[in-house]
Chains A and B, each alone.
Chain A
């Protein structure tokens, strides 16, 4: 079990707790390089199998990190980022330090919330008016937002919002208000997630 499965990167903190982790591990801990730390669990492969269970564990561990010690900011990894050993991991923490620190800065003290607005079957809705109403209501509260795929004709809006922890209640209220004002749309409100959609960092290697 000398390989390391990485959940995310924290700064100035060391996170350690027992939990149900990816690939049957029962403990997560932190491998640090200077002030940056990668929260990992032990694993015996660098190519972990993608299962629903382990994808959910990855997400749950990130939530636990976010709740750790009264609130810890974590730059979340995509599923499957397993390293050969501590050496390779520290090399990436060092080499990509500016990118991790900028991402950390962008998401400090925030969570990601998901919102889907789906028109009721057979409802004759004014899509533009609903989109504009949603933008007016939610964009001022959020730090940033991104659109996701509109994979169905009935899907009027599918966005992720980056919201500061102390604006979450305001956002919850805005969603309730919006829902009360719009009988013809179904509101799917999800999260809080680690800010996956707001850390657009890819680290490549040239041989």
Chain B
């Protein structure tokens, strides 16, 4: 072998649980069980959000930003619209 290598180990339960239970995309339960009368709110952060409190703080801040930028970005605004019957709404193909 040209150069010694270390192979990563994928079998550690603790390493898997650390990631699967704490990281990855999170979707609020209301967005998962209902489409009627809800408005989706998307929060993207480049920092790791540690707690629900921090999350709610981000949510507030982002909501302000989205309101401020909504007028200038019609495409984004359409993406965030909630329609009562999504599967029957005609969508233009990409």
Contact = CB atoms under 8 A, between A and B. Distances in A.
Q: Is B one of A's binding partners? A: yes
Contacts of A35: 94
Given A87-B86, A197-B19, A52 B26 contact: no
A88 B81 CA distance: 13
Contact of A189 (B6, B34, B48): B6
B47 interface: yes
A203 B5 contact: no
Given A46-B33, A82-B32, A34 B8 contact: no
Given A46-B32, A59-B20, A90-B86, A96 B40 contact: yes
Interface secondary structure of A, over-half rule? mixed
Contacts of A127: none
- Interface size class on chain A is 35 or more
Interface stretch (A13-21, A70-78, A118-126, A135-143): A70-78
Interface in A20-49: 33-35, 46-47
Contacts of A99: 42, 44
B10 A203 contact: no
Interface string B31-50: 11111011111111111110
Interface residues of B, number: 58
Contacts, number: 208
Given A179-B6, A200-B49, A58 B20 contact: yes
A113 interface: yes
B32 A88 contact: yes
A25 B84 CA distance: 30
B19 A169 contact: no
Nearest to A90: B86
A206 B43 CA distance: 13
28 contacts: A46-B32, A56-B20, A76-B24, A78-B25, A83-B32, A88-B34, A89-B32, A91-B31, A99-B42, A113-B8, A172-B7, A173-B5, A175-B6, A188-B9, A189-B8, A190-B10, A191-B8, A192-B10, A197-B23, A197-B48, A200-B47, A201-B43, A202-B26, A203-B31, A203-B43, A204-B41, A205-B41, A207-B38
